[in-house]
Amino acid sequence: MTQGSGALLVGQRRREQPAGPGRPRRNRMRGTRPLALVAGLFTLAQLVLVRPTLGLGWDEIVYVSQVTSHHPAAFFSAPRSRGVSLLVAPVASWTDSTALLRIYLALLSGLALHLALRCWRGLFPTRVLVTGGAFFATLWITLFYGPQAMPNYWVAVGALITVGCFLRHRDGSGAPGALWGVFAGAALMAWMRPTDAVHVTVPLVVLALATRRRRALPALAAGVAAGAVPWVIEAYAWHGGLAARLTEASRIQGGLGWHFAVDDQLRSLGGRALCRPCTGEMAPLVVTLWWFALPLLAVLALVVAVRHRRTLPTLVPLVCAAAVAFPYLFMIGYAAPRFLQPAYALLALPVADALWHLIRPGGRRRIVTAAVALALAGHLAVQLTVLIAAVDRNHDSRRDWARTADRLHDLGVRPPCLITGHQAIPIGYYTGCSSGATAGHNENTTVAEILRTADSIPVAHLTGPGATPPGYARSWPATPVGDLTARVAPRWSRG
C-alpha cells in the first residue's frame, strides 16, 4: 500500500467515526425519526378515518362502564380482563365524552407503536422497521381498533415489545434495558389478555431453555405474572377458582376444542367486527388476497434470513405469531378479525424484510420494484375501502342504539333503571340503565330479582324481531321501537 493510499484510508476512517460526544446521539435520533413519522401518520389516520364521535361498541361498553361514574357497570364475563378498563380510566373516569376517549386512545396507540418499533432497532434495518410498521398500521383492523377501548391492539404492541427486547437481550445489543422491555411487554399482554400472553411467551421460554440463555426467563415470568395477577385474584374471588374461571370462559366462547375457523376469519376480513355465527358469503378475493400472501412472504423471509445467517430475528417472531394465531384459527368456533392482530404485528417485520429482498439490486429490479409498489398501493386502497365501510356500518348501528335509548326515555325509562332482553348491554348503556339477563353468556340476574326491581325503578324488556317475550314481561304494555318491541313495567310505562 502506498503512502498516499494509506493516508486516504485513514482519512476515510476518521470521517466514518463519531466526531464528538454529540454525534452518536444525533445518529440515534436520525434513525428513530422515520419510526416516529410512521407512528404520527398512524395517529392522524385514526383521527381522520375513524370518527372521534363514533359511539362505543358492545365490548367497549363493558370495559368503559367499569371505571366511569356516568353509567352503571355492565356484566363482566369470565373471559374478560381489566386491562382495557384501567387503560381508559384516565379519561373515562371523569368525562362521558366519547370523542375525548377516541383522541386519547389514538394518541396513545401511536406512541405505543413508535416505542414497539424502536425495540427492534439493530435487529432489522430502519427501512424494514418503517415498512413493517406501515404495513401493520395501515391494515383496516389496526386503524379501526387503534382508537377503540379493545384489548387486541395492545396485545399486539406488547408482543412486539416482548419479542424485540428478548432478541436484543439475547444478542447483547439491548442489555440491561432490554430485560425491562421484556417485563413491560409481557405485563402489557397479560394485563389485556392473559391467555394470549402465554401463547406468545411459550416459544421464547423454549428458546431460552434450549440455548441455555436463561437470563430473560425471570423477566418473562415476572411480566406475565404481574399482568395476570388481577385476573387470577378475580378468579378465586368471584368465579370459584382459576380452573372454574377457565372452564366458564371456554363455555362462553363456545367450548374450546378443535374448530376449523380459518374460513370464518376470511369471512370477517370483509369488515365484520364479529362473525358469530359465521355464515354468509366469503369476502371477495381482492379483500383476502393479502391474507394468502402473508404465509408465502413469511417463508421467503425465513429463507432469506437463513441464507444471510441471521435466522433468529426472523424465525422467533414467525413462531410466536403462529403460536398466538393457532387458537383463533383452530380452537374457537367463531371469528373476529381483531383476534389475529398480535400475529399480524409479529409477521409485519419479517414480511417487510422479504419485500425489500424482492427489490434487491439486479437486472429485473425495476420491474419487480414496480410490481411490489403496485401491489402495496392496491393493498392500501382495499384496506381503506373496507375501513370506511366498517366505520359507516358501526356508526349507523350505534346511532340506532342511541335512538332506541331516546325512545325509551319517552316511554318513562330513565335512570336509575334496568334493561333486559335483546341487546340489553349496549342499549342499557346508552339509556343510562343497568342491564340484566336471566340466561346466556351474560346471565347476572333472575326473574324474581327483575320483578322486585320493577317495584322501585323503571324496568323495560326489549324483544328482537320475531322473538317471543319472556313470561314475566308478556303482560307489560308493548311499544314498537324501530325493529324492536319495548315492554315497560306497568308502574312506569308512559306508552
- What is the residue range of 437's domain? 395-488
Q: What is the pLDDT of residue 15?
A: 35
The answer as to whether 89 is a domain residue is no
Q: Examine the pLDDT at 174 and tell me if it is beyond 90.
A: no
* % pLDDT > 90, the chain: 81
Query: Please, which pLDDT band fits residue 24 given cuts at 50, 70 and 90?
Result: low
β-strand partners of 487 = 461, 478
Quick one: 401 and 461 in the same domain? yes
Mean pLDDT of 380-409: 96
pLDDT at 241 over 60: yes
Residue 83 CA to its chain's centroid (Å): 12
| 1-10, 173-182, 383-392, 458-467: least confident range | 1-10
- CA gap 293, 286 in Å, rounded: 12
User: For residues 70 and 152, is the Cβ–Cβ distance under 8 A?
Assistant: no
Alpha carbons 408 and 423: distance in angstroms, whole number: 14
Do 270 and 350 lie in a common domain? Answer: yes
Is 345 found in the same domain as 430? no
| Residue 409 CA from chain centroid, whole number | 34
The pLDDT of residue 13 is 39
Evaluate whether residue 438 is within a structural domain. Answer: yes
Contacts 24+ apart (CB under 8 A), 232-239: 234/82, 239/78
Is 442 within the bounds of a domain?
yes
What confidence tens digit (pLDDT) does each residue in 104-142 have? 999 999 999 999 999 999 999 999 999 999 999 999 999
CB neighbour list of residue 310: distance below 8 Å, 6 or more residues apart: none
Give the pLDDT of residue 1.
42
| pLDDT band with cut points at 50, 70 and 90 for residue 177 | confident
Rounded mean pLDDT of 450-469?
96
In a domain, 213, yes or no: no
User: Is 212 among the domain residues?
Assistant: no
Lowest-confidence pick of 21-35, 191-205, 370-384: 21-35
Which of residues 331, 358, 385 is at a domain's end?
A: 358
Structure confidence by residue, pLDDT tens digits, 422-443: 999 999 999 999 999 999 889 9
In a shared domain, residues 346 and 264: yes
pLDDT above 80 for 95: yes
- The pLDDT confidence band at residue 363, using thresholds 50, 70 and 90, is low
Of 24-28, 37-41, 67-71, the range with the highest mean pLDDT is 37-41
In 3D, which of 27, 181, 119 has the Cα closest to residue 313?
119
Query: Is 139 a domain residue?
Result: no
Of 358, 386, 420, which closes a domain?
Answer: 358
Count CA atoms closer than 13 A to 75's CA, side-chain side.
21
User: Is the pLDDT assigned to residue 9 strictly greater than 80?
Assistant: no
Classify residue 331: in a domain, yes or no.
yes
pLDDT of the residue at 2: 43
Distance CA 255, CA 312 (A): 35
Phi, psi values for residue 413, rounded to 5°:
-95, 100
Is 186 contained in some domain?
no
Residue 80, pLDDT score: 96
pLDDT of 213 higher than 70: yes
pLDDT at residue 253 in the model: 85
Check whether 22 has a pLDDT greater than 60.
Answer: no
Look at the chain and report how many structural domains it folds into: 2
Residue closest to 411 by CA, chosen among 477, 484, 467, 475: 477
Are 311 and 408 members of one domain? no
Residues 63-94: tens digit of each pLDDT: 999 999 999 999 999 999 999 999 999 999 99
Shared-domain flag, residues 329 and 274: yes
Domain boundary among 330, 358, 386: 358
CA–CA distance from 158 to each of 56, 72, 169, 486 (Å)?
24, 30, 16, 43
Q: What is the mean pLDDT of the chain?
A: 91
- pLDDT(360) > 80: no
Query: Over the range 439-471, which residues count as b (16 or more CB within 10 Å of their CB) and which as e?
Result: eeebeebeeeebeebbeebbbbbbbeeeeebbe
Please give the average per-residue pLDDT across 309-327, as a whole number: 96
Give the DSSP per-residue string, 270-335: TT-S-BSS--SPPPPHHHHHHHHHHHHHHHHHHHHHHHTT--HHHHHHHHHHHHHHHHHHHB-SSB
pLDDT bracket for residue 11 (50, 70, 90)? very low
